[in-house]
Amino acid sequence: MAKRAGTANLPLHGGQVPKWLADRMTRLGAVISEAIVHHYGREELLHRLAHPFWFQSFGAVMGMDWHSSGITTSVIGALKRGLGPLEKELGIHVCGGRGRYSRQTPHELVSIGERVGFDGAALSTASRLVAKVDSAAVQDGFQLYLHGFIVTDEGHWAVVQQGMNGALKQARRYHWLSEGLDSFVDKPHAAINGPSQGEIVNLTDHRAEPSRRMQLELLFSLGPDGVACELAKLGSSEPKHSGSSEPLLPHLDLPEHHDVRASDVDARRLYANLAAAADRGPTDFSDLLLTPGVGARTVRALAMVAEVVHGASYRFADPARFSFAHGGKDGHPFPGSAPGL
């Protein structure tokens, strides 16, 4: 099915890429990709894009700052522009991008599938599921804002997506490759190293299999009402009303932080998501993640109740580590080549 191929943490950098550099990256990225495909084949290009060190080096060679978070957006954008005119010749298609472009990925995959003959609907599901795994199944404090899906005419693919943590002033990049393991949600992480970020919600850990299973059971055995009741015992986020009989005026009290956190989500919306999931009747955890409306908040609520009711843990060590390559356009010296490149 698919495997997580690695991760990278990058400091957030502001500013925009100047047009001259964007044009240069487009031309150079296309030429390098074309050479790799002609010499080693399409699969090799996917393997390299799925390697966090190679991807970082690739961006540096194209001219981006060697350690900037913007390298991900710039490389994906450059490849989409540069390889678009060559897609018939190379059999490589780059979908998605940043923000609203990322949300177009499923539609792009269906359209390309109709043209070249692969199952675009299945790849559309894979795109959505990969995004859900790195945003809901693994809750490490990084909110996804970029999703790049690179697919060949044969339907093989690599995904490069990135999330942002404003408090840490870091971005985290996640790499996927469509081969290896037979599950999106139960996998050891490959090519990961560096300092741990502590305990997080990590439902992709093999030890979380009881939690994934019990979450589905809870939806059917307790139902939305039972889950909400158990969750309330853990500390409800429902608004507290005063004892006055006077009607309360509408009041909006916004926090200072800019990012949207679980505590900012209305518990009544959570109940609606639980009800929608129960009504859909997901057959497994992957199907639960694909339920419309089910995100990090719903998954975390189910995991918390599953731990209380069944003792099924969901908090494990952070699977993401620091991964950096070398290069630079910003005047800093090249510290050398990364081992194995």
More confidently predicted of 329 and 178? 178
318 lies in the same domain as 275 = yes
166 lies in the same domain as 212 = no
* The two structure tokens encoding residue 272: 């609606």
| Strand, helix or coil for residue 138 | strand
Other CB atoms closer than 10 Å to residue 136's CB: what's the count? 20
Q: What is the pLDDT of residues 271-291, one digit of tens each?
A: 888 999 998 899 999 999 999
Q: Which of 122, 150, 184 is the last residue of a domain?
A: 184
Sign of CA dihedral 301, 102, 325, 206: positive
Domain range for 176 is 3-184
In a domain, 257, yes or no: no
User: How far apart are alpha carbons 222 and 26 in whole angstroms?
Assistant: 54
Q: Which amino acid is at 55?
A: F
140 lies in the same domain as 37 = yes
More confidently predicted of 314 and 6? 314
Q: What is the pLDDT of residues 41-80, one digit of tens each?
A: 999 999 999 888 888 888 888 887 666 678 899 999 999 9
279 lies in the same domain as 176 = no
Beta strand spans in 142-189 (E): 143-152, 157-165, 170-177
175 lies in the same domain as 204 = no
180 lies in the same domain as 201 = no
Q: What is the pLDDT of residues 290-317, one digit of tens each?
A: 999 898 889 988 988 888 888 888 887 6
119 lies in the same domain as 203 = no
pLDDT at 2: 53
Angle between helices 223-235 and 267-280 (to 10 degrees): 150
Q: What is the pLDDT of residues 163-173, one digit of tens each?
A: 888 888 888 88
In a domain, 189, yes or no: no
Kindly list the distances between the CA atom of residue 92 and the CA atoms of 24, 104, 152, 153, in Å, as whole numbers in the listed order: 20, 18, 5, 7
Label the pairing between strands 92-98 and 138-139: unpaired
133 lies in the same domain as 157 = yes
User: How far apart are alpha carbons 134 and 137 in whole angstroms?
Assistant: 6
Q: What is the pLDDT of residues 109-140, one digit of tens each?
A: 999 999 999 999 999 999 999 999 888 888 88
Q: In DSSP terms, which residues pair with 143 in a beta bridge?
A: 164
Half-sphere exposure of 11 (CA within 13 A, CB side): 6
Q: Which residues of 234-245 are buried (b: 16+ CB within 10 A; e: fewer)?
A: eeebeeeeeeee
67 lies in the same domain as 120 = yes
